[in-house]
Amino acid sequence: MGRELQSPCLHNLWIPDGSKEVPFDRLAARTLLREGLDEIFAVEYSPHHMKDSLESKLFGIGSESFVVGSHEFYLGYALSRGKLICLDLGHFHPTESVADKVSALLLFAPGLVFHLSRGVRWDSDHVVILNDEIRAVMEEIVRARALGRVFLALDYFDGSINRVGAWVIGARAALKGILAALLMPETTLRNADAAGDGFRRLAAREEAVTLPLGAVWDRFCLEAGVPTGASVQAEIARYERDVLAVRD
């Protein structure tokens, strides 16, 4: 795919592994996973065609007591093997900040992959919306000047929502997150931060919350020749009526 597209294709590996009950030998399972991955990656492909990433999980239903491919496992594996680490926003403790990991990992990793999903309680993969976590991750990427070193991946597992609508909402939420981060009063915030002026930093940040993001977004959409605001819904309804509904 990457060769044909003349653009690197990202191959992300995630394995649903682990056990419901407490295992005896965690090391044996992780040693086996390390060996298995080494076999999978034995054949090298050009990074111009394909980039490999590995994604961890905290736990899942049915693997409450042990997940072989934990964050520490894959972090160690990816960094030691020259692979990319993929951070799924729904694969960490609900109170754990994935945004905080950006600056830490970028110091040691060549790049990062984000599975931008929306965790709800212990589940993930809900359609991305412009929530605090998306904003925080984008702010960290933008402030680290790392837009060129990250891959942003989305998914639309929730089949109960119009497929095109889910795709549009998720993709636009991710783009809005980047825009919101780019529009932050960076110089003011950076200066207040450097001066140790906690009040000025907090005040500037709070002011930024109500800055007119929507107006800039609408202008961006107009210049790009794509629907703005509620006309998105009308356009999706038209597509559903004129294209999807008449498919055999």
Return the active site residues: 14, 55, 57, 88, 91, 115, 123, 125, 155
CB of 195 to Mn ion, least distance (A): 40
| Nearest to 15, CA basis, from 31, 37, 35, 43 | 37
101 is an interface residue for Mn ion by CB under 5 A: no
CB of 154 to Mn ion, least distance (A): 10
88 is an interface residue for Mn ion by CB under 5 A: yes
| Nearest to 154, CA basis, from 89, 103, 214 | 89
Stretch touching Mn ion by CB under 5 A, among 34-42, 85-93, 207-215, 235-243: 85-93
Tell me the C-alpha distance between 50 and 174, whole Å.
23
Which segments of the chain does DSSP mark as H helices, in order? 2-5, 26-40, 71-81, 99-106, 132-143, 163-182, 186-194, 198-209, 213-224, 231-239
Nearer to Mn ion among residue 118 and residue 201 (C-beta) = 118
CB of 131 to Mn ion, least distance (A): 17
118 is an interface residue for Mn ion by CB under 5 A: no
Nearer to Mn ion among residue 12 and residue 233 (C-beta) = 12
56 is an interface residue for Mn ion by CB under 5 A: no
Which segments of 162-242 does DSSP mark as H helices, in order? 163-182, 186-194, 198-209, 213-224, 231-239
**Which uninterrupted H or E stretch holds 64?**
none
Nearer to Mn ion among residue 115 and residue 176 (C-beta) = 115
Instruction: For the beta carbon of residue 176, count every other beta carbon within 10 angstroms.
Output: 21
126 is an interface residue for Mn ion by CB under 5 A: no
Residues lying near Mn ion in the complex (CB under 5 A) are found at 88, 115
